[in-house]
Amino acid sequence: MNLFLKQIALILVYTILFNYSNISLSKDKTDTSFKNIIIYPKSKDFPILYLKNVKGEDIIISKYTKRITLINFWATWCAPCIEELPSLDRLKSKYENNIDIIAVNVEKINYKKAENFLKSLNIENFQTYFDKDFRIAKLLGLRGIPITIIVGRDGREAGRVIGSIEFDQDQFISLLEKI
């Protein structure tokens, strides 16, 4: 009987440890969406951007908008990009007077394809622009997508989001309010 109780106690200990480790791992998974956000201790200079809109017109994106600006680089073939675009749209809808969203398509310029693609995702609150010949991506040292540049109200680069996140989460909005 003594051996039986020891075995039960051992199984109970392993069960508790296993369940605790799973709880810890699941907590880590919810936090990882913000581990790919880099906020610089001191903001960096940021260039004025020259892009094309969906009508093929040259557009100058001024860096002094007096609003926080998120410049999101994406493509129609990029699954993580597609996942995060609706959250950018919701963020812009909720904070339309306090934030600008500049979505930059890095594919070969195809205005109609990009416009139809955004319509298929029900994106209504921001437009897409194009980085002809990847000049902007190269200038900013981008190595993959999705990537989002965070530009503060002062027109300086405050940080970057490397990879996909849900932009309309309270944690991210709180972070933006501190910039």
Q: Residue 11 forms beta bridges with which residues?
A: none
Going from the C-alpha of 142 to that of each of 12, 20, 116, 135, 171, the distances in angstroms are: 50, 39, 26, 10, 25
170 contact partners, CB below 8 Å, separation of at least 6: none
In 58-76, which positions are buried (b, 16+ CB within 10 angstroms) versus exposed (e)? eeebebeeeebbbbbbbbb
pLDDT of residue 133: 76
Q: Tell me the whole-structure pTM to 2 decimals.
A: 0.77
Task: Report the pLDDT value the prediction gives residue 30, as an integer from 0 to 100.
Answer: 32
Tokens of 93: 């809808």
Can you give the pLDDT at residue 59?
A: 81
Instruction: Give the β-pairing of 68-74 and 147-151.
Output: antiparallel
Q: Sort strands 128-130 and 99-105 into parallel, antiparallel or unpaired.
A: parallel
Residues 177 and 104: their CA atoms lie apart, in Å, by: 23
Strand arrangement of the beta sheet that strand 37-44 belongs to: 37-44, 157-162, 147-151, 68-74, 99-105, 128-130, 49-53, 58-61
What averages of pLDDT result for each successive group of 10 residues across the chain (179 residues)? 57 43 34 73 88 80 80 93 95 92 87 85 90 85 93 92 94 90
Say which residue the tokens 């500049």 belong to.
102
What pLDDT is recorded for position 162? Answer: 94
3-state secondary structure of 97: coil
pLDDT at 108: 81
Fold of 36-177: Glutaredoxin (3.40.30)
